Amino acid sequence: MAHDHEIKDDARRKLTDQVLNFHEANGDAVAWNTEAPADFTFLFDPDHLLVRTSAVEAFERAVAATKDELLDGELTRAEESVQGRLVRYRLPPRRAGLSLPDVVTELRRIGDFPPGDVTLDHWIHVAPGGGTLCPAIEPEETGLKEPWPGQCEPRRRKRKPVRVSVVDSGWHPPAATDPRTPWLAGVEGDDELNGPDLREYAGHGTFIAGIIRCLAPHTDIYVEGFCIGGAGGGGILESRIVDQLEEALARDAKVINLSAGCRTHDDLPSLAFEVFYETLLKERDCVLVAAAGNDASPAPFWPAAAPWAIGVGSLDHDGRVSSYSNYGVSADVYALGRNIVNAFPDGTFTCEETPSKGDVRVFNTGMARWSGTSFSAPVVAGLIAREIYASGSSAADAAHAVLATSVYMSDPAVGPLQGLRQPYDA
């Protein structure tokens, strides 16, 4: 069989580029579930498991019962998170030939606990995809000087701005005072430390904040950064991202935009996200809007596929579902995600993915053009924030009102769906 780099297939080459770049950024903390990187469905930490606190005793009994068959050493209870409801364990080396997914499968088979209470610690990426690790395309230059979707006119109401949190790659501070992007005035966040040579995912959080602010001018936006300065290659473990989400709730956010996610082992719900919802989000006046992913797949992508999250798929400008967009359980609604235009750092960007690998793109207008469900999600987040401000309603009621404006559509490739048609700046 030919090696991936020898296969004359741009899609496989692109996937291989993405996975190996991600592995290089995180070293031995990244593993995948297939031999060839291009065939992976999920990425995980090869040395750690997550266990719901209520399942700890049953989990440890199962480990003790199979220790001689599965593991070569002692289990270590590493740490707890989400207010003590989630435990992270470090596992000793496995017996020859066993992968960590193999171990989990066997523990689930004999253990007296629900299967979803013991899981791998999956990698979440800022630009979601199970079979892709990036937006549908790398950012492109644009000669346009106005954002698209366009800026919505501010409304004259005596209400406090709506607080929105963007949990992402961080924030590009110069955009807040740049005369080319006045809609970002007042936005704050964790500095993503951009230089003249832009990283592959640089500007991702800033671009998303720009989309939200254009559609919802009366918002206080804070961009959380979980891969500042390139740490993690744009990714974070699910056990860690819930800490960022907890910080977002501490800021009293009414809307959280998460343009990130993952596939999981056996397609079970992400345990860290489930525990976060049950412990922290469920009782709060806040909605989480998540990108549906860019795999052109109906397989569940978390947290977008969770019933408590609003998963957003991508539409092209003609209203059809974008070729890259996930669909099915991960997409509650679809919005424009192709060729979005918004704020982007100035600098030189060298493409790292096939077929554009090595191409140099120069950004000097304060703007870029970008595509992916990463950017359809903030369209919906912005519309919900705008509805909260306009009506004074709860976050849940505002989300319901926005989704109620979607229209029934049908796409031969994905079947029936609900879509939000342009214009969004009305």
Q: Averaging pLDDT over each range in 11-25, 147-161, 332-346, which range is the top one?
A: 332-346
pLDDT value for 232: 59
* One-letter amino acid for residue 14 of the chain: K
- 198, containing H or E segment: strand 197-198
Indicate the domain borders of the chain. Answer: 4-124, 162-419
Segment 179-227, tens digit of pLDDT: 999 999 999 999 999 999 998 889 999 999 999 999 999 999 999 988 6
Average pLDDT of the residues in 316-343: 95
Name every residue whose Cβ is closer than 8 Å to that of residue 24 and which is 6 or more positions away in sequence: 233
Nearest by Cα to 261 from 302, 232, 226: 302
Give the DSSP letter of residue 93. P
Rg of the chain over all Cα atoms, to the nearest angstrom: 21
Predicted confidence band of residue 355 (pLDDT cuts 50, 70, 90): confident
- For position 262, what pLDDT does the model report? 92
Whole-angstrom Cα distance, residue 407 to residue 122?
A: 35
Between residues 6 and 308, which one has the greater pLDDT?
A: 308
Of 153-157, 240-244, 320-324, which range is least confident? 153-157
Per-residue pLDDT reduced to its tens digit, 390-420: 999 999 999 999 999 999 998 888 889 999 9
pLDDT of the residue at 40: 85
Q: Are strands 118-125 and 367-370 parallel, antiparallel or unpaired?
A: unpaired
What mean pLDDT do residues 14-32 have? 81
Nearest in space to 89 (alpha carbons), one of 271, 337, 278: 271
Q: What percent of the chain lies above the pLDDT cut of 70?
A: 94
Position 149 scores a pLDDT of: 96
Per residue in 47-85, pLDDT tens? Answer: 999 999 999 999 999 999 998 899 888 899 989 999 999
Whole-number Cα distances in Å, 174 to 104, 189, 206 = 46, 11, 10
Q: Residue 118: its pLDDT value, please?
A: 98
**What pLDDT does 222 receive?**
98
Q: Is the pLDDT of residue 2 over 80?
A: no
Is 1's pLDDT higher than 50?
A: no
Q: Do the Cβ atoms of 103 and 221 come closer than 8 Å?
A: no
User: For residue 159, is pLDDT > 70?
Assistant: yes
- For the segment 237-288, what is each residue's pLDDT rounded down to a tens digit? 999 999 999 999 999 999 999 999 999 999 999 999 999 999 999 999 999 9
pLDDT, position 130: 42
For residue 38, is pLDDT > 90?
no
What global pTM score does this model have?
0.94
pLDDT at residue 229, as a whole number:
54
Per-residue pLDDT, 97: 83
Whether the pLDDT of residue 305 is over 90: the answer is: yes
Sign of the four-CA dihedral 149, 153, 157, 160: positive
CATH 3.40.50.300 fits 162-419, yes or no: no
Q: Which CATH number fits domain 4-124: 3.40.390, 1.10.12, 3.40.50, 3.30.70?
A: 3.30.70
d(CA 289, CA 267): 20
Report pLDDT for 292: 95
Of 42-56, 223-237, 330-344, the poorest mean pLDDT is in: 223-237
